[in-house]
Amino acid sequence: MRWLAKSVVQNAISVLPGSVAVNGVLQRYGTGSVVMTPERVVARLVRVGGRHVEHQRRFGTRPLGQTTVVEVGTGFVPLLPVGLHLAGAAAVHTYDIARLSNAGRTADLLQQIVAAADSGALERECPWTLPDRLANVRAIAADPPIDLDALLAAMDISYHVGDATRSGLDAASAHLFVTNNVFEHVPAEVIRALLAEAHRTGAPGALLSHHIDLRDHYAKFDRKVSVYNSLRFSSRQWRYLNSRMEPQNRLRHSDYLGMVDEAGFELLLDDSRAGPDAGFAAVRPAPEFRRYSDDDLRVIDMWIAARRRD
């Protein structure tokens, strides 16, 4: 089975020096998952950036132009921070545990955005893009600094490498906290610490906006695998099957909502989606998942927005 082969390969890679870089090369030249094109960039900006911008518009206590944003999980390219800059964010702080982004890929991202703008796709698909911010991105793309921090600073983006649970930001200094496909990869205690830090550094009325993918991520790679595949295994079994490069915590919908509430945030929006009935019916969850309702277990995708209680 392909997903088992991927698990073995990634877990073998995880013990090598420079394992993150090796995995990135495999993604770029093996699966093509991190190769950027104007079409891919716009699609991701629509799917992710547009949703966070909409949450801020609907629920934020101030305009985006007066909003300091904190993102956790920069990834190989700072697409969401750049998208938030295009939308008008006052400043963006983006955090990652390792320095995955670099100046070359970021400059490439800006060039793909300019190409999408030239074709009309960016304006058509991302109408929240501000003309003055696009002009700034054009200027940077035409002559990008070779230093990543300088390149990002030209868009009011600060790139922090380290533990986001100890962000170093002042109390009550941020207004919007965002993640995309991050929470499902970290342990519950880390999520609680991240939410506690968001509460500490959040200004009155600060907003959370998170996308969480609860599917078995091996199903993205192996189409023969059910999105519920990971529920079949006990914690002991999953310890060996789980990818050390892209770990999945297998927390469920109710777990995330509970942690958000416990951290002192009021849920404003819960846009959750269940997977296919047939796929769920074919899976027999491990005993440890029996405490969850079927409706809870069936959720495979969730967007949430929540406001800091003051």
pLDDT in tens, 210-256: 999 999 988 887 778 899 999 999 999 999 999 888 899 999 999 99
**What's residue 1's pLDDT?**
60
Domain ranges in the chain are 37-214+251-308
Residue bearing the bigger pLDDT, 171 or 7: 171
Strands (E), 168-219: 174-180, 202-213
The mean of the pLDDT values for the chain is 91
**What's residue 29's pLDDT?**
40
Q: Which residues contact 46 (CB under 8 A, 6 or more apart)?
A: 125, 126
**Do the Cβ atoms of 273 and 301 come closer than 8 Å?**
yes
**What's residue 87's pLDDT?**
98
Res. 190: pLDDT tops 70: yes
**What's residue 274's pLDDT?**
97
**Do the Cβ atoms of 112 and 158 come closer than 8 Å?**
no
- The CATH code of the domain at 37-214+251-308 is 3.40.50.150
Average pLDDT (164-168) is 98
Residue 189 confidence class, pLDDT cut points 50, 70, 90: very high
**Do the Cβ atoms of 95 and 74 come closer than 8 Å?**
yes
Residue bearing the bigger pLDDT, 43 or 218: 43
